[in-house]
Structure 1
Amino acid sequence: MRGILFVLLCAVATAGLAETNYVDDTLVITLRTGQGNSYQILRTLTSGTALEILERDDKYARVRTPDGTEGWVLSQYLTPTPVARDRLAQAEQRLARFETENQQLKKELAALRSEKRTVEGEHKQASSTVERLQGELERLKAVAARPLELEKQNQEMGKRLQELELNARMLSEENTALRDRANRDWFLAGAGVLFGGILLGLILPKLRKRQSWSDWR
């Protein structure tokens, strides 16, 4: 991805510049002041030298060297692409860069995997903590519900106690009434016996007198 971006940036940067050609695989060519072998040689150009094309005809091209020297060279020795040697060097540089990027990506991948393992461990620990907290929450809910249950039981027991106290009070009143009735019955029975004794005490002497009188006659 970075290599593609680099190529695109290079293409954009060179789009506005003049055309560039390279000295082909011919070992050395001459840069002259004019078109033809009769003109003065300004310098020699080795294979792979980058030249900016200023103008061109069928046979010659006016060029500018990297150091700013301008002159004429034969067009047949120019090529729009770098020579094989330079392309190989560039390819080796790109390969080296790609290898460096690959190593960096491998390091980043290893770091991401390590981070992934760490995150997974933290997630597992968090899940365990959540489960523990959920269990604690359930226990707390049970503990919180216990007083409510006890209060309900206390209310039911209070009602039952009130019923028992009412029944006990009713039984006590009934026992008191029975006791009073028994005392009254005993009193009446005693009074009856006493009254009967009095009557017998009054009647028996008379009966005895009558029996004695009858015997005397």
Structure 2
Amino acid sequence: MKLGSILLFCTLLLLPCMFSSTVSAAQWYVKPSAEVPVRRGQGTGYKIVAVIEDGTMVTLLEENKDWAKVQLKSGKEGWILKRYLSNEKPLKEQVTALSLTKTKLKEQLAATNGRLSELLQAHNKTEQELTDCMAERDTIKADYQRLQQDTADVILTKKKLVATEQQLKELTSRLTNLQLENTDLKKSSALIWFLIGAGVLLTGWCIGLLTGKRTKKRRSSLL
């Protein structure tokens, strides 16, 4: 009789080990509820070793049906009902993270707008310089053509022609550089406008996600 009782007792002790499943340690969170007791074993009859609050982060060590073995930050280990656990961060932390993201996006958008303003000013300045350079080039080109037609003083005309040709080459080179710079500025402006649009869309998405989370929580509390 005693031997049978001992065998039965040993079997009962081994049952949790047979049906329990060990899981890789992961960070989980306590769902919104009142204080949750952490017990020494799998059952309400076991001694409470700790009491944890809503949003407390724990390390999941093992699962067995409706129970989960967890480790607290203090190092204590115990069992709680799995329905109190969730792998999602508490809504408060999610809201805080989204608020920080929104603030960073606003700062980036402000910096982008500032950069865009600088590029637009540089673009306008380059456009004006380009216009002036083209006007000066046209003037020198007209002088050059006029000198070619003037053959009264061959030597003087030749010297003036050489000087004018040099000026024309320099201005042509300067005009080419300004045109390239103007093209780069236009590309930069287009990229900035694209980044602003992406920042606005991402900010709107974050705000919509935040609003949706709050609405979902209110509906859950009403239910």
Residue type of the partner of 2:134?
Answer: V
Where relative contact order (Cα < 8 A, 6+ residues apart) is larger, the structure is 2
Listed one character per residue, the Cα deviations across residues 6-52 of structure 1 (whole Å, up to 9, x for unaligned) are xxxxxxxxxxx744332121221122222223433221111111222
Classify 1:45/1:126 alpha carbon distance in 2 versus 1 (closer, same or farther; 3 Å): same
Instruction: Note if 1:111 corresponds to 2:115.
Output: yes
Aligned residues: 132
SS, match of residue 50 in structure 2: strand
Query: Which residue of structure 2 aligns with residue 52 of structure 1?
Result: 59
Listed one character per residue, the Cα deviations across residues 116-169 of structure 1 (whole Å, up to 9, x for unaligned) are 122222222222212212321221232143128979xxxxxxxxxxxxxxxxxx
SS, match of residue 59 in structure 2: strand
Question: Normalising by structure 1, what TM-score?
Answer: 0.52
Classify 1:127/1:29 alpha carbon distance in 2 versus 1 (closer, same or farther; 3 Å): same
Q: 1:92 & 1:120 partners in 2: Cα distance?
A: 42
Question: Normalising by structure 2, what TM-score?
Answer: 0.51
Q: 2:106 aligns with which of 102, 109, 123?
A: 102
Classify 1:69/1:145 alpha carbon distance in 2 versus 1 (closer, same or farther; 3 Å): farther
Query: Which residue of structure 1 aligns with residue 129 of structure 2?
Result: 125
Q: 1:46 & 1:144 partners in 2: Cα distance?
A: 95
* Pairing 1:72-83 to 2, within 5 Å after superposition: 72-82=79-89
Q: Over aligned residues, Cα RMSD in angstroms?
A: 2.6
Q: 2:144 aligns with which of 140, 143, 156?
A: 140
Q: 1:80 & 1:97 partners in 2: Cα distance?
A: 21
Q: 1:150 & 1:56 partners in 2: Cα distance?
A: 104
Q: 1:115 & 1:108 partners in 2: Cα distance?
A: 10
- Percent identical: 20
Residue type of the partner of 2:92?
Answer: L
Query: Which residue of structure 1 aligns with residue 71 of structure 2?
Result: 64
Q: 2:39 & 2:152 partners in 1: Cα distance?
A: 110
